[in-house]
Amino acid sequence: MMIKKLWIILLLLLAVIVIKAQNMQAPGGFDVYQKDISHGNIDTIFYFSETVGVKRSALVYLPPSFSSKKSYPVLYLLHGIGGDEYEWLKNGTPHIILDNLYAQGKLEPMIVVMPNGRAMKDDRATGNIMDADKIGAFSTFQSDLIHDLIPYVEKKYPVKPNQINRALFGLSMGGGQALNFGLGNLDTFAWVGGFSSAPNTHLPENLIPNPQEVKNKLKLLWISCGDQDGLINITNRTHKYLEKHGVQHVFYIEPGGHDFKVWKNDLYMVSQLLFKNANPDKL
């Protein structure tokens, strides 16, 4: 009886990969532009959204080695409540972080799509960003993403099809979206994660009503947050539920608040795991 209990405890411990912040931080210079390496390209795309009834825009980062003769997996990377499709590029410099990682051979080549996650006719982050219709538009984006944007991206670019080649990540409000939509559409995404996820994140029992299905279908589930972030309870709440149900995930608490210093570090970390045999211990 005692041995059985010990086994259960051991299995639960193994089910969670808790990354110690002190031995896992991006090194200095990770976000500094390097002149003498190859650089990726940023495109702006316009797609018609049946969901919203208007043309919408998104940014696309193509890797330095991009060739239309190859095909690529895709990371959909979502912004926060005060942002739009330019937020990551302006404040997170993902092109610089990823160019530097490619130069070191640390990434599986991928296309990164940065959409506008506020799916409404006027999707600018102006006026009261907390207005109910604006908050609601962050939920509406699920349909825009799955029915409008992904099909457009997969027609326009040489994209590897299927769940196994799609990742969905985001910061704060976008972290909640990534968890809600990713875990709610396990046949569409295999790599899912939230950075400093906001209160739009579904309650754990609604987010993961079927833990076994998540275990069977996901390649990576990532939840991270700065240790000084006022929203950390959301990430902790999700973590506790996942741990209780033995769902393997990366739970990464790092020094910092609710800001791009944390989110740039998250992108640096997570991009190295995507579309590979994920081993967070080897970063």
51 versus 196: smaller Cβ distance to ligand FER: 196
Question: Which listed residue (52, 74, 198, 234) binds ligand FER by CB under 6 A?
Answer: 198
> Rounded to whole angstroms, how far apart are CA atoms 68 and 242?
40
Question: Which listed residue (100, 200, 224, 271) binds ligand FER by CB under 6 A?
Answer: 200
- Give 126: exposed, middle or buried? Use CB within 10 Å, 0-12, 13-18, 19+: exposed
Task: Choose the stretch contacting ligand FER; rule: CB under 6 A; options: 5-13, 42-50, 193-201, 204-212.
Answer: 193-201
Q: In what order do the strands lie in the sheet with 41-49?
A: 16-19, 249-254, 220-226, 191-195, 166-171, 74-78, 111-114, 54-62, 41-49
Taking the complex as a whole, the smallest distance from the CB of residue 201 to ligand FER amounts, in Å, to 9
Interactions with ligand FER, residue window 81-140 (CB under 6 A):
81, 135
Question: Which listed residue (199, 203, 206, 210) binds ligand FER by CB under 6 A?
Answer: 199
Taking the complex as a whole, the smallest distance from the CB of residue 202 to ligand FER amounts, in Å, to 12
Count, residues in the chain:
283
**Kind of pairing, strands 74-78 and 111-114?**
parallel
The reply on whether position 197 binds ligand FER by CB under 6 A is: no
The reply on whether position 80 binds ligand FER by CB under 6 A is: yes
Taking the complex as a whole, the smallest distance from the CB of residue 221 to ligand FER amounts, in Å, to 20
198 versus 250: smaller Cβ distance to ligand FER: 198
Coil, helix or strand at residue 111: strand
The reply on whether position 172 binds ligand FER by CB under 6 A is: yes
> Rounded to whole angstroms, how far apart are CA atoms 54 and 46?
10
What DSSP line would sit under 211-241, residue for residue? Answer: HHHHHHH-SEEEEEEETT-TTHHHHHHHHHH
Interactions with ligand FER, residue window 139-168 (CB under 6 A):
none
Q: What is the dihedral of CA 141, 145, 148, 151, to 10 degrees?
A: 180
Task: Choose the stretch contacting ligand FER; rule: CB under 6 A; options: 12-20, 38-46, 49-57, 197-205.
Answer: 197-205
* Residues in contact with ligand FER by the rule CB under 6 A: 80-81, 135, 172-173, 198-200
